[in-house]
């Protein structure tokens, strides 16, 4: 017994420090690799042992597959959330762009409608009421024609206005009516928002721009509509955006033409100024040369008179000698 006890003590605590550390490391490795201990019962042959090992491997593979599926589900949810955010951001940006285009079109149309109000003094009396009442109701292309005819004297506005008129005539009447209804609906909330923002800007910095009722309604319809309805709505939006872009292109063409003509006028004026400056410079040089020649002529005349006097004096002295 004492020999057995003496043999067991060195294995427990009196053993050298090297081997127990290796054993602890091996135990830690086994605990990390083996999450759940598996008990294998009595095995009669190697085939049963192989079957049990294969079952254990299959369990581990199933656990890994479940973990992978969970990760895939999480990633899919994140992707869906990001796609939804992107869609909402796109819709908000589109709505803001359309609002900006509406405001620009309203400004341009207000200028175009204000122009024929000033012109009806020259044309005959029966033609005045037709363009004055037309821009409010709907047919806009008939109004800017007299402004373009009279604007040829002062500013280069007629060609782009005619192009805009032809493009507006090609648009169907239904689209124009829809445009006017949308503008009338937007004028009220825009005025209310401007009146509400003005007193706040006196002492406090202006708040960020809020969406209008049309944009909010558009987003609500997008949330509650199907794919077919979305396609139809997007087609309508595309038609409207095409018309708006055509109007804006005509306006920018008009501005470019006016800028080009103004540049040509300025360049012509500068050229005229340069030519006048050259003429003035040549005149100055000619005057300087003329003055110099006059001085030379005066000096030559003085010398000529002196020579004459000398000759006359010499001749008179010679004659007196004889």
To the nearest whole percent, how much of the chain has pLDDT over 90?
A: 9
With the C-alpha atoms ordered 6, 11, 13, 17, is the resulting torsion angle positive or negative? Answer: positive
Per the domain annotation, does 153 fall within a domain?
Answer: yes
Question: Does the residue 27 lie in any domain?
Answer: no
Over the stretch 47-97, which tens digit does the pLDDT of each residue have? 888 888 898 889 889 999 999 999 999 999 999 999 999 988 888 888 888
Name the residue with higher pLDDT: 213 or 258: 258
Q: Select the highest-mean-pLDDT range: 23-27, 182-186, 204-208, 306-310.
A: 306-310
67-81, 89-103, 151-165, 241-255, range with the lowest pLDDT? 151-165
Rounded to an integer, what distance in angstroms lies between the CA atom of residue 282 and that of residue 295? 20
- Report if residue 136 sits inside a domain: yes
218 inside domain: no
**Is 39 among the domain residues?**
no
Task: With respect to residue 108, please indicate whether it lies within any of the assigned structural domains.
Answer: yes
In a domain, 292, yes or no: no
Whether the predicted pLDDT of 258 surpasses 80: yes
Specify the DSSP class assigned to residue 119: G
Neighbours of 146 (CB within 10 A): 19
How far is Cα 303 from Cα 309, in angstroms, rounded to an integer? 10
What is the domain range of residue 109?
A: 66-189+239-254
Lowest mean pLDDT: which of 66-80, 125-139, 290-304? 125-139
pLDDT given at position 70:
94
Cα–Cα distance for residue pair 53/47, rounded to 1 Å: 10
Question: Rounded CA gap, 101 and 184, in Å?
Answer: 15
Residue 104 maps to a domain: yes
Report the domain count for the chain: 1
**155 Cβ contact partners less than 8 Å away, ≥ 6 residues apart:** 258
């Amino acid at each position: 017994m004492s020999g057995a006890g003496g043999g067991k003590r060195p294995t427990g605590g009196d053993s050298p420090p090297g081997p127990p550390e290796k054993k602890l490391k091996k135990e830690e490795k086994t605990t990390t690799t083996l999450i759940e201990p598996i008990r294998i019962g009595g095995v009669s042959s190697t085939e049963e042992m192989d079957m049990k090992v294969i079952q254990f491997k299959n369990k581990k593979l199933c656990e890994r597959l479940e973990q992978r599926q969970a990760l895939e589900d999480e990633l899919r949810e994140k992707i869906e959330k990001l796609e939804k955010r992107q869609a909402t951001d796109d819709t908000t940006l589109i709505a803001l762009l359309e609002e900006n285009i509406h405001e620009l079109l309203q400004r341009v149309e207000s200028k175009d409608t204000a122009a024929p109000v000033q012109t009806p003094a020259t044309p005959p009396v029966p033609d005045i009421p037709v363009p004055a009442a037309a821009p409010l109701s709907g047919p806009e292309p008939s109004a800017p024609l007299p402004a373009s005819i009279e604007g040829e004297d002062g500013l280069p506005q007629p060609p782009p206005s005619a192009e805009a008129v032809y493009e507006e005539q090609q648009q169907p009447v239904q689209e124009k009516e829809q445009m006017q209804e949308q503008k009338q609906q937007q004028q009220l909330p825009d005025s209310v928002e401007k009146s509400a923002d003005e007193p706040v800007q006196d002492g406090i910095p202006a708040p960020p721009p809020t969406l209008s009722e049309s944009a909010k309604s558009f987003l609500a319809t997008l949330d509650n509509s199907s794919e077919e309805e979305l396609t139809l709505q997007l087609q309508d939006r595309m038609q409207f955006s095409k018309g708006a872009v055509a109007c804006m292109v005509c306006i920018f063409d008009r501005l470019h033409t006016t800028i080009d003509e103004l540049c040509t006028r300025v360049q012509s004026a500068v050229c005229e100024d340069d030519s006048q400056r050259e003429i003035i410079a040549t005149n100055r040089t000619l005057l300087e040369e003329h003055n110099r020649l006059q001085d030379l002529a005066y000096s030559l005349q003085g010398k000529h008179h002196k020579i004459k006097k000398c000759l006359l004096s010499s001749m008179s002295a010679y004659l007196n000698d004889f």
